[in-house]
Amino acid sequence: MTRNVQPMAVTRADFDAIMVPNYNPAAVIPVRGKGSRVWDQAGHEYVDFAGGIAVTALGHCHPRLVAALKDQADKIWHLSNVMTNEPALRLARKMCAATFAERVFFANSGAEANEAALKLARKYASDRHGDKKQRIVAFNQSFHGRTLFTVSVGGQPDKTKGFEPLPTAIDHVPFNDLPALERCMGDDVCAVIVEPVQGEGGIIPATPEFLKGVRKLCDAHGALLIFDEVQIGMGRSGHLYAYMGYGVTPDILTSAKALGCGFPIAAMLTTAKVAASFTYGSHGSTFGGNPLACAVAEAAFDLISDPDLLAGVRSRHERLIAGLKPLVERYDLLADVRGSGLLLGLVMSPAWHGRGREVLNTAIDNGLLVLTAGKTIIRLAPALNIPEADIAEGLKRLDATLAQCQEKARKS
């Protein structure tokens, strides 16, 4: 017999008692969201400049996404890849129509999409050159995920410490440094993987000349070019994918965070020629291409590929920069603001390096959700459709946050 019971009450303290301690979540627990506002257990309201780390790109509980999920929930939830499904094929067709891609592989997370991309690049080279072309070149500070392969390809050595032995034939060179890449390239390189805008590494856009040069060097050495657009893709740069704004086309592109706007899904996009190396049985994923995920992502893709929405990202960028520049002037805590579209980084001055968490917690006290990136950056990744009123209110709360942080520091 089923009994109608209240869900068990939980608190932040339970996290420390029952969860693996690889995260250190904030003191409050959000329970509800609508658009760019979020409410916690106690009913306190927050302006969301974090977007679940660049994930909830259309805000919380967008009616079209909720409808797509509910509609699919009444049809079919899961089939496995022994069958195909309509939502996956519809989404893949739209992604191919809107991008350079001719083939799509679905996964569940950014790391898995990158894992697929790196494996495909190795396999493509192996099919043509045997064991003579296995080296992967990536960039310092880059972030590509947390599987052992993707974290090893990432350019943050602190994240692989203790997990050795690591995959081999991976080199790292400084980002935005074409001569360094040129020195590192060779005919044994199967792929170069790059974030067009580094996210976790500190919100650092690639220069157009750099990406154009990377493309040329890949072509000269017969290496595939992989763009990791897990964070900057799906409209965040003000273009559907950042490569479109740069005018540099990769051979493989990965998309995840905002693809399902909060429903877990990722995709690896590529050409028919490259895709051919993933022959039947060579790679797979139980949940990849799940109908619920693909139905939500199809609705998200329709909304985000709308030119008006993308133009809105570019105007919101201008609006935010205009609001943030005076804060950089006013507060010693901040040294600069940079970024692309609605992925923005407030660079902290040296005295504040490593203290981003203080700012984040003070922001929460002021009813504002923000993020950090590395030890030096306060990161903003609001929804792409964030209303003007929420931008204005968020900036006001950020102003108050920075004032309090500096006041506390002055007193201590």
Ligand X SMILES: *Cc1c(COP(=O)(O)O)cnc(C)c1O
3-state DSSP assignment of residue 138: strand
Residues 170-199: x where in contact with ligand X by CB under 6 A, - otherwise, as a string:
-------------------------x---x
For ligand X, the closer of residues 147 and 349 by Cβ is: 147
Contact 75, 66 (CB under 8 A): no
The label of the residue with tokens 């760019």 reads 36
Q: Is position 257 annotated as part of the catalytic site?
A: yes
Burial group, residue 265, by CB count within 10 angstroms (0-12, 13-18, 19+)? buried
Q: Which of 48, 228, 251, 399 binds ligand X (CB under 6 A)?
A: 228
For ligand X, the closer of residues 55 and 405 by Cβ is: 55
Burial group, residue 349, by CB count within 10 angstroms (0-12, 13-18, 19+)? middle
Q: How many CB atoms lie within 10 A of CB 39?
A: 16
The residues, ordered by sequence, that sit 6+ positions from 129 with a Cβ below 8 Å of its Cβ are: none
For ligand X, the closer of residues 91 and 405 by Cβ is: 91
For ligand X, the closer of residues 334 and 344 by Cβ is: 344
Near ligand X by CB under 6 A, which window of 8-16, 169-177, 227-235, 279-287?
A: 227-235
Count of residues interacting with ligand X (CB under 6 A): 15
The token pair at 78 is 């899961």
200 touches ligand X by CB under 6 A: yes
* Among 123, 133, 210, 257, the one annotated catalytic: 257
The label of the residue with tokens 């950042």 reads 242
Q: State in angstroms the smallest separation of the CB of 114 from ligand X.
A: 6
Sign of the dihedral through C-alpha 203, 209, 215, 219: negative
231 touches ligand X by CB under 6 A: yes
Near ligand X by CB under 6 A, which window of 9-17, 106-114, 272-280, 290-298?
A: 106-114
255 touches ligand X by CB under 6 A: no
Buried b (16+ CB within 10 A) or exposed e, 62-94: beebeebbeebeeeeeeeeeeeebebbeebbeb
Q: Is position 143 annotated as part of the catalytic site?
A: yes
* Among 105, 139, 143, 278, the one annotated catalytic: 143
379 touches ligand X by CB under 6 A: no
For 194, half-sphere exposure in the C-beta direction (CA atoms, 13 angstrom radius) is: 34
Contact 277, 127 (CB under 8 A): yes
Q: Is position 228 annotated as part of the catalytic site?
A: yes
- Residues numbered 125 to 144 that lie near ligand X (CB under 6 A) are 143-144
Q: Which of 111, 211, 223, 226 binds ligand X (CB under 6 A)?
A: 111
356 touches ligand X by CB under 6 A: no
Task: Catalog residues that contact ligand X under the rule CB under 6 A.
Answer: 109-111, 114, 143-145, 195, 199-200, 228, 230-231, 256-257
Active site residues: 143, 228, 257
